[in-house]
Amino acid sequence: MALTVLPERDKLGLTHGRLYIDGEWVDGSDGDTWTHLHPATGEDVGTFAVASAADVDRAANAAARAFDDWATMRARERSRLLRRIGDLILDNADELNRLQTLDNSVPLGFSGIYQLGAQMAADIFDHHAGWVDKLTGETIPTYTGAEFFFMTLRQPVGVVGAIIPWNAPLMLFANKVAPALAAGCTVVLKPSEYASFAAIRLAQLVEEAGTPKGVFNFVTGPGPTTGQALIDHPKIDKITFTGSRGVGIRVLHATADRIGRTSLELGGKSPSIVFPDVDLDAVAMTSMGMVSMGLSGQGCVCHTRVLVHESIYDDLVNKTAAMASMATFGNPFDPATTSAPLINARQLERVLGYIDQGKIDGRLVVGGDRPGGDLAAGNFVNPTLFADVDNNAAIAQEEIFGPVLAMLPFKDEADAIRLANETSYGLGASVQTGDVKRALRVAKAVRSGSFGVNGYTVMPNAPFGGYQQSGLGREGGRAGIEEFTELKTVCIALGDSPV
């Protein structure tokens, strides 16, 4: 029997999605719509409005009008509002998780993994609610000894245009909206056209919490039209974008003429460095799990390069290949399903192209093909492992965003660090070792925005972002919320002379 997600769609009562502009739900001015096809089945699961440039203009102007009142609202009121949003997310967690599965086909069972579920989205709002009255400046001693008083202020940057991808819409919606609102900014958010339904429901909850008119606006549609209008708009003071490096470059070009503020999280090619003094079975499971379980490697920080000490290399290659059988494809609402398809047909062809190149640049150990039968209508690719990969090969250097793992041997610690740093990315990395001194040496030497020792995760109160072409800026913690502020220095003359 062919897979179908339509019963779940009907149970959720999914209807046509609309735009939320200046406190009202409206259709797009051009009447255009987008039909979302489910990644696992190819079924039509719903439509939503496509925002035109005129719709984006209305949203940006609404956010600009609302800015002064929101930025000067009492801190206690803004903080309470963010906590109400977080509470509403928890109250509706099951529905949100199911909508996310309708969006991107992440297995529903993986919503219990912190980063992928509604729980983290709620915690992000709760965390940033606590920052509202803590964005303080500092006093600065006078350098010359003259009678002056210096201090700094943190002030909201203005209207924020937020663009999020499809792989973790619940978490990423919160990662953009919560700190922006907490800092006193107003927001226009665009989700990916490949994952809009969970974000639409989140937008409804932001309204339900009592957010003032114009403070939060929500537009849906494809990147080349709706997204481009957002990043081009002169009243957008800051763009915060998570997505591919190619689109990030276009964001920088679009905002350059107006010196627009930007934060970019652009993916990576994260290395996992494995030394001999570890449990190889556990490492093999974790390494293959990065690309075979959950979103099947469709995560910006997935550790898709495994650098292995030569003394254990062959053993770990074999053990990791054996773990590919853990992946179970099927209906993502079935608890037995562990692994997602790729998001769309375009991404499917892209990943298969990398696999074809990998067969030239490395040794295919397992996978490299697609499951058939009832799964043929979906965008599924079997977990794939390449060994003996040259570090300069495309599958070792480029973000594939699919279930493809590359393994490379190294000779010693210095060689491992060299290989890890030979990349244009620098988002995440990790080391597997029982030697704490070695772990700290490697953590300091590898150029990445975050680093794991014998494990890896992200949290709302810890900064997250990348070195090099993995992006600009940080999300999470103090560093993340300060991305939505401008720093002002105030100089006060205390004496009779103004200079």
Active site positions, annotated: 265, 300
Q: Is 162 helix (H, G, I), strand (E, B) or coil?
A: strand
Angular region, 96: left φ>0, alpha ψ -120 to 50, beta rest: alpha
Positive or negative, the Cα torsion across 162, 167, 170, 174? Answer: negative
Residue among 24, 64, 61, 44 at smallest CA distance from 203: 24
Record the tokens describing residue 143, joined without a space: 């350098």
Distance of CA 188 to the CA centre of its chain: 17
Distance (Å, whole) CA 127 – CA 122: 9
Question: 479, 463 in Cβ contact below 8 A?
Answer: yes
Write down the residue that tokens 């030697």 correspond to: 435
* H or E segment and range at residue 431: strand 428-432
For 208, residues 6+ apart whose C-beta sits below 8 A from its C-beta are 88
Write down the residue that tokens 């043929």 correspond to: 376
Positive or negative, the Cα torsion across 460, 461, 466, 472? Answer: positive
- Residue 201 is which amino acid? R
- Residue 372 is which amino acid? G
Distance (Å, whole) CA 245 – CA 268: 9
For 246, residues 6+ apart whose C-beta sits below 8 A from its C-beta are none
Distance (Å, whole) CA 495 – CA 499: 9
Residue among 277, 225, 231, 301 at smallest CA distance from 413: 277
Question: 151, 96 in Cβ contact below 8 A?
Answer: no
E strands, 318-391, in order: 363-366, 384-387
Question: 386, 404 in Cβ contact below 8 A?
Answer: yes
For 413, residues 6+ apart whose C-beta sits below 8 A from its C-beta are 438, 441, 442
Angular region, 374: left φ>0, alpha ψ -120 to 50, beta rest: alpha
Distance (Å, whole) CA 163 – CA 242: 7
Write down the residue that tokens 């245009």 correspond to: 161
User: How many CB atoms sit inside 10 A of residue 451's CB?
Assistant: 18
Question: 196, 103 in Cβ contact below 8 A?
Answer: yes
